Amino acid sequence: MPQPPSTSQGTGRADSPRLAWGLTGSGHWLRETLDFIFTLDDVDLFLTRAAAEILGNYGYKQDALRERLRIYQDHTASSVPVGFLYDGHYHTLVVGPATSNTVAKCVAGISDTLVTNLYAQAGKCRIPAIVFACDTRPTVITEAPGRTVTLYPRAIDLDNTARLATYALTTVVDDLDALRNAVQRRMSCLNTSCS
């Protein structure tokens, strides 16, 4: 497993806190999201098992991604990498693209994947989260491996996304421009001490 970002001598806090980015098993806006991530500095990727599978389906090789980013996958029952949140290694968590499954688990307080555990622990550590939800509109046209498909999110999917948007320290975004803006606002906040 890769080592966490460096910490100040004896303090346990990171010298330069980073952005933790959780990928789930969604292909919706995946390419565009990764292109955006590549423009940012100090980002670590956290992959659910579904994300690890879906990356390959969309032609991404983890070895190639590791040349550009620090990547964490979890093979433990307790999601050991979430411990990096406790020591100040991350200033913000971004989850996205976030499947309806991940959103529903976050709404219900279920933390049984690496990314849902990150979301829960970020909240407990008062670390802001940005969630790029996939199911935000009644009709979604999205890329599937080798084709484009039209999906019709269920009422419960849309309701869960709306509920998650009401949670403390959580910003829910519904498209790539909103994602970019939310991340840039958060980065600006870090420079001006807002939260």
Pairing of strands 170-173, 18-23: unpaired
Across the range 9-19, mean pLDDT stands at 60
Across the range 70-87, mean pLDDT stands at 86
pTM: 0.89
The more confidently predicted of residues 16 and 11 is: 16
Q: What type of residue is 47?
A: L
* Tokens found for residue 124: 């407990």
Q: What is the pLDDT, as a whole number, of residue 3?
A: 53
Q: pLDDT band for position 195 (50/70/90)?
A: low
Across the range 33-59, mean pLDDT stands at 95
Q: Is the dihedral of CA 124, 125, 126, 132 positive or negative?
A: negative
Q: What is the pLDDT, as a whole number, of residue 15?
A: 63
Across the range 152-159, mean pLDDT stands at 97
The C-alpha atoms of residue 119 and residue 94 are separated, in whole angstroms, by: 9
Question: Cβ atoms within 10 A of the Cβ of 46, count?
Answer: 28
Q: What is the pLDDT of residues 80-122, one digit of tens each?
A: 888 899 999 999 999 999 999 999 999 999 999 999 999 999 9
Nearest to 88 by CA among 111, 55, 122: 122
Q: What is the pLDDT, as a whole number, of residue 191?
A: 73
* Tokens found for residue 150: 């039209």
Predicted confidence (pLDDT) at residue 7 exceeds the cutoff of 70:
no
Output the average pLDDT for the chain.
90
Predicted confidence (pLDDT) at residue 61 exceeds the cutoff of 60:
yes
Across the range 54-62, mean pLDDT stands at 94
CA distances to 14, 28, 36, 96, 149 from 21, in Å: 17, 16, 12, 7, 26
Q: What is the pLDDT, as a whole number, of residue 92?
A: 97
